[in-house]
Amino acid sequence: MAVTTQNLTSAAVRGVQWTTAATVLTAVMQIGYTAVMARLLDPTAFGLVAMTGVVLRFGSYFAEMGLGHALVQRAEIDGHDVRAAFTASLGLGLAVAGLAWLGAPLAVLFLKEPAVVPLVRVQALGFVLVGLGATATSLLRREMRFEALAKVEVSAYVLGYGGVGITLAVLHAGVWSLIGASLAQQFFVAFFNYLVVRHSVRFTFLRAPYGRLLGYGGRVSVVGFLEFVNGNLDTLLIGRLLGSVLLGIYNRAYMLLYLPMYFLTNSLARVAFPAFSKIQDDLPRTRALYLASSTVVATLVLPLCAGVAVAAPELVQVLLGPRWAASVPVLRVLCLSIPLSMTTLFAGVVADARANLRQKIILNLEFMALLTALFWLLKGYGLAGIAGAIGTGEVVRTFLYMRVTHRDIGISYPRLLAIYRPGLLNAAAVGLALLAVALLVRPLHAPALLALLAQMAAGAAVLGAVLLRWPTAELRPVLRQALARLRGRAALPAGAQVRLARYAAFLERAAGGSAVLEAFDNPLTP
C-alpha cells in the first residue's frame, strides 16, 4: 500500500529507525566477519577480490541504468512501469553478465593479474541476481516499507556472509569463499524482497514506460558511473603499481572504517531519497530537512573518526591481527576523507530527488580531474600518498557539493559550513580524551584488547557527555523521543523518572522555539 501524505512523516521516522537498526547490526556483523576472514585468508585473497570488484562495478551502472531510482523518484507509476522496470533490469543483468564473461581477459591488460579472470566470470552472475531483485527492492523503497527491507538485509547478510562465506573459508576454499559469500547474499536479497512484494514478472515491450524510466534513469546511471570511477581510482592505481598484497592491506584499512560509517549514514540516505522525492518542489521543507540531516550525521561521524584515528594501532591489532600493522597509517589518513564523504551523501540525495543531475555530472568530472592530478603528484609516497590524495580530494569535493546545494536550493555558504561546527567540536573532545588514555595505557604494554576497550570507554563517555549537555537543535528531537520512550516504562525507579523529567525540561528550555527544530520535528507534513 502506498504511503499517503498524512502518514509520510511517521513512515519516515519508522524508516530511519528500522534502517539504522539494520545497518548498525550489519556493521557489527561486518566487523566480526572481517575479523574472522582476516585470520582464515591471506591479504592476497582480499586484494584479488578488490580488483574483481572494481572490474564488475564498472558494469553495474550499465546493468542497472538507474531504473530503481526512477521508480522511486517518479510521482506516479502504473503496472506497465513495473513490468518495464523488471524486463529491463533482468535483460540488462543478463547482457552485462555475458559481456563480463567474454571480456574478463581484458582486465589483465590493466590490472596485470591473470588470477582475476575466473573470479570476474563467476562473480558476474551477481548481475543476473541483482536484475531479478531490483524491481522488488525499488518498490519497497518507494512505499517506504523499510521494516521489510531491514529484515531482508540482515537475514541475507547472516545467511550469505556468515553462513556460506565463513563455511567455505573453513573448508579451505580460499578466495572463492569471498566470491561465494557475495553471490549468496545477492541471491537471498532478491528472493526475500520478491516474496514480500510479489510484483508482476511478465515482460512488456511497450515503448512509453521505458521512455519514462530511462530518461531519468540514464542520467542517474551516468552519475553513478562517474562516482564509481572516482571512488575506485585508488584501488586501480594501487593494484597496478603496488601489487595485490599492498592493495589487500589498503582495502582492509579502508573497509574497516568505511563500511561502518557508510552503513550508518546510508540508512538515513535510503530513507531520505523517497522522502526528498515527495517534497522536491517544496524548497523550505527541503532546506530544513537537508540541514537537519547533514548536521546530525556530521555531529556523530566526525567524533567517531577522530576516535578511530587515535586508537588505530589497537583497533587493527584486535580486529585484523598483527600481520596487518602496515594498515595503521593508512587508516589514520582515511579518518579525514571518510567523514567528509559521508556528510556529502545528503547533498547528492537532494540533487537526485530534484533531478538536478547535470550539476552532479559536472561535479564528478571536476573531481575526477582533480583526483587524477593528486594521484600523479603523490604516487611516489606509496600507500600514504594515495590516502593523502583521497583526503585532499574529499575536502575539495565537499566544497564542490556546497556549490551545487547553494545553487539548487539556495542555502548560504556560511550556513552550509556551519553543518560541521558541532561535529568538529565533538571530534576535538573525543580525540583528546582517547589520546590521554592512550598515553597512559600504552607504556604499560597492556593487551591490545584492554587498551582498546579503555579508549572506547573514554570516547563513549566524553561523546555522550557533550551530546547530552550541549545538544544541537537538530539532535534535540531525537533525544526527546528517546526520553519519551524511557519515561513511559513503568519499571524505571522513581529517582530515574525524576532525573529524566529534569533533563526533558532542560531540552525544552534549550529548544527555545527554534525554527530548524520545528522543521526537523515535522519536515514532511503539508
Residue range 370-421, pLDDT digits in tens? 988 888 888 777 777 777 887 888 889 999 999 999 999 999 999 999 999 8
Q: How far apart are CA 516 and CA 398, in angstroms?
A: 23
Residue range 429-451, pLDDT digits in tens? 999 999 999 999 888 888 888 98
Residue with cell 573459508: 169
111 — pLDDT class (breaks 50, 70, 90): low
Cβ proximity of 379 and 255 under 8 Å: no
Cβ proximity of 74 and 135 under 8 Å: no
Q: Which residues contact 297 (CB under 8 A, 6 or more apart)?
A: 265, 268, 342, 343, 345, 346
Nearest C-alpha neighbor of 181 from the set 200, 197, 199, 168: 168
Instruction: Give the predicted TM-score (pTM) of the model.
Output: 0.70
What letter does residue 302 receive in the DSSP assignment? H
Residue with cell 600481520: 323
Determine the number of helices (DSSP H) and then strands (DSSP E) in the chain: 24, 0
Cβ proximity of 317 and 272 under 8 Å: no
Phi-psi region of 441 (alpha: psi -120 to 50; beta: other; left: phi over 0): alpha
Residue with cell 552503513: 263
Maximum C-alpha span of the chain: 72
Quick one: average pLDDT of 118-126?
89
Quick one: average pLDDT of 182-198?
93
Amino acid of residue 339: P
Residue with cell 558476474: 124
Nearest C-alpha neighbor of 251 from the set 44, 24, 27: 44
- 1 has a pLDDT exceeding 50: no
Residue range 287-312, pLDDT digits in tens? 888 888 888 888 888 998 899 889 98
Position with higher pLDDT, 383 vs 114: 114
Position with higher pLDDT, 353 vs 512: 353
Number of neighbours of residue 464 by Cβ within 10 angstroms? 10
3-state secondary structure 89-113: HHHHHHHHHHHHHHHHHHHHHHHCC
Quick one: average pLDDT of 149-178?
91
Amino acid of residue 427: A
Cβ proximity of 56 and 123 under 8 Å: yes
Q: How far apart are CA 315 and CA 460, in angstroms?
A: 15
What's the pLDDT score for residue 435?
Answer: 92
**Cell numbers at 214, concatenated:** 530511462
514 — pLDDT class (breaks 50, 70, 90): very low
